[in-house]
Amino acid sequence: EVQLVQSGAEVKKPGESLKISCNVSGYMFTNYWIGWVRQMPGKGLEWMGIIYPGDSGTIYSPSFQGQVTISADKSISTAYLQWSSLKVSDTAMYYCARRWNAYYFFDYWGQGTLVTVSS
């Protein structure tokens, strides 16, 4: 069974760093792209970026390029989304999701990680 299990909710202050995770099981981690999607409070889904764990190749949305870093650790089948300096506006639910085999839509999703940034 394919599963994407995300790390738990985080409460941080502006300027702090953060790395959230997405651990996958039930398939070969290195064979499928993993993407990240943001949902700000009361808003819709936003495509942030995606990584191919096989070679760590990444594609970022211009809106998120330079604002976050997407990475992966093949040895533990885990993808990451990280910030070096959080802003209040980073408060959101973040989902990881697996890209379907050949095209850039998502067939399996994690349960989401709520990130709250507040002073």
**Positions that interact with another protein (CB under 8 A):** 37, 44-47, 49-50, 59-63, 95, 97, 100, 103-107, 109-112
What are the φ and ψ backbone dihedral angles of 74, each rounded to 5 degrees?
A: -65, -30
- The DSSP secondary structure of 12-67, one letter per residue, reads E-TT--EEEEEEEESS-GGGS-EEEEEE-TT--EEEEEEEETTTTEEEE-TTTBTT
Closer of 13 and 43 to another protein (Cβ): 43
Measuring CA to CA, which residue among 63, 8, 54 is closest to residue 32? 54
Closer of 67 and 74 to another protein (Cβ): 67
The pair of structure tokens assigned to 99 is 């890209």
CB of 11 to another protein, least distance (A): 19
CB of 58 to another protein, least distance (A): 11
Closer of 22 and 86 to another protein (Cβ): 22
Closer of 48 and 72 to another protein (Cβ): 48
Q: Which amino acid is at 61?
A: S
